Amino acid sequence: MSEPLAEEVFREASESIDVLSPSLEDVRRRAREQRGRRWSIVAGAAVAVAAGVTTWWGIRATHPPDAALTVAPTVHAENPADVAWFANGELHLDHVTIDLPALQDLVAIGGGAVYADDDGAVVFVADDGARSRLGSKDQGTPLVGSDEQGWVAWSDTGGREPVLVLYDLTSRQRLRTVAPTDPGHESATELVPIAIDQDLLYYRSGSQSYAVAPRGAPEEIGAGLLDVSSATRVFQADAESIRMEQSFFSTVTAGLGVGAQLSPHGDFVLTRTADDGTSYGTVRVYDSRSGDELPSGLTSDDVAIAATFGSEETVTYIVARAEDRASADGFVRQSFSGALELRTCLLGEDSCKVDTKFPSTGSLPLLAD
């Protein structure tokens, strides 16, 4: 399930993290072939990503062309993980790293990525470092996108009223904009994208959730929608639990959690429980078909700063050690003195592989949605 966690999340690294040994090379190779949408999750927030078809709608809104930016420095380097990620000023794609400023949101798409920087600029960067600005984003809302279909969506508050932008990277055109004053909405001052699934954009306006196609009127879905994938939906049922609705198996199950991300085919759910008194909480993984909880691959000594599905078979984490967290005056601070690791775990098994370790130099690391 792109949500800043706190001020000064990291400090310079001084220690390393114990390495788990089992290899996942075959799983990661399969995951590269099945790359789906991904999401970094934190407790108390839900960001979702999904997909739709871009070329046959025939919608070609008129707006100024993309603004070209300087080409970002690029170096050939194989990504040790099967997901795109950003840390210490470097974006890691499949075969290159790209030098970029501090980022707030990141979506892997079209062999490159769409990101939002600290100034709210929404930018597409190709794997050769070429960049173009797509628009501006409200920094308090997520950026969502689909690698499969080439769509991205964000909330733009640069005008007289907030609008939700659905953008097609293939044609470099806006497919649709949605405003709070559009017919069918309850009164609201913000629009928040949730997911894109089966040619529908899902979003929140006020307390209600809606779905809308590039053409047509919005349809009310109900309150508490967190994510949609392959027609599977997950809702925030109450302050401590989620509800998973699996349409293919016609099942409704529940589990503890705040916020959620569905796997590419909707069979698994990532969520968190805020049982340690911090914004990070404890990661939980559920089978959306049965409601069974699965091993996460994390221990009580691990703090998952970010988590995302690599495929239907793997979960990737950015992990710190709980013992490296600083505390003072009885309050736990959201900062760590030790090194961080990128870890890939096999779903349903306590089998993980450390892809790489890296120091933290102050900026928030991200896993691509």
For 149-177, give the secondary structure using H, E and C: CCEEEEEECCCCCCEEEEEECCCCEEEEE
Closest Cα partner for 291 from 253, 234, 261, 260?
253
CA 320, CA 338: separation in Å to the nearest integer?
A: 7
266-296 residues labelled b (16+ CB within 10 A) or e (exposed):
bbbbbbbbbebebbbbbbbbbbbbebeebeb
**Of the candidates 183, 181, 184, the residue with the CA atom closest to the CA atom of residue 163:** 181
Q: Which residues pair with 237 in a beta bridge?
A: none
- Residue whose tokens read 């090379």: 25
CB 221 within 8 A of CB 202: yes
Cβ(87)–Cβ(365) below 8 Å: yes
pLDDT at residue 162, as a whole number: 82
What does the pLDDT profile of the chain (369 residues) look like in tens digits?
433 333 333 333 333 334 333 344 454 444 444 443 333 343 333 333 333 323 223 222 333 445 678 999 999 999 999 999 999 999 999 999 999 999 999 999 989 999 999 999 999 999 999 999 999 998 889 999 888 788 999 999 777 778 999 999 999 999 999 988 887 776 667 789 999 888 889 999 888 999 998 988 899 999 999 999 989 999 999 999 999 999 877 899 999 999 999 998 899 999 999 765 556 789 999 999 999 999 999 988 899 999 999 976 899 999 998 766 554 443 344 555 578 999 999 988 878 999 999 987 767 899 998
Please state which architecture CATH assigns to domain 25-367. 6 Propeller (2.120)
Sheet holding 251-256, edge to edge: 225-229, 232-236, 241-246, 251-256
User: Any bridge partners for residue 320, and if so which?
Assistant: 303
**Counting runs of H as helices and runs of E as strands, what totals does the chain give?**
1, 32
Say if residues 137 and 106 touch (Cβ distance below 8 Å): no
Residue 140 has a pLDDT of 83
Among residues 4, 172, 165, 38, the alpha carbon closest in space to that of 108 is found at 38
CA 354 – CA 22 distance, rounded (Å): 9
Query: At 104, which amino acid appears?
Result: Q
> Please, which residues bridge with residue 92 across strands?
85, 97
Res 276: pLDDT: 54
User: What is the reported pLDDT for 114?
Assistant: 96
Q: Tell me the C-alpha distance between 336 and 304, whole Å.
A: 12
- Give residue 85's pLDDT: 97
DSSP state of 324: G
Q: Please say whether the beta carbons of 244 and 228 come within 8 A.
A: no
Domain boundaries of the chain, sorted by first residue: 25-367
- The predicted pLDDT at position 275 comes to 63
Q: What is the pTM of this model?
A: 0.79
pLDDT of residue 50: 31
* Distance between CA atoms of residues 262 and 271, nearest Å: 9
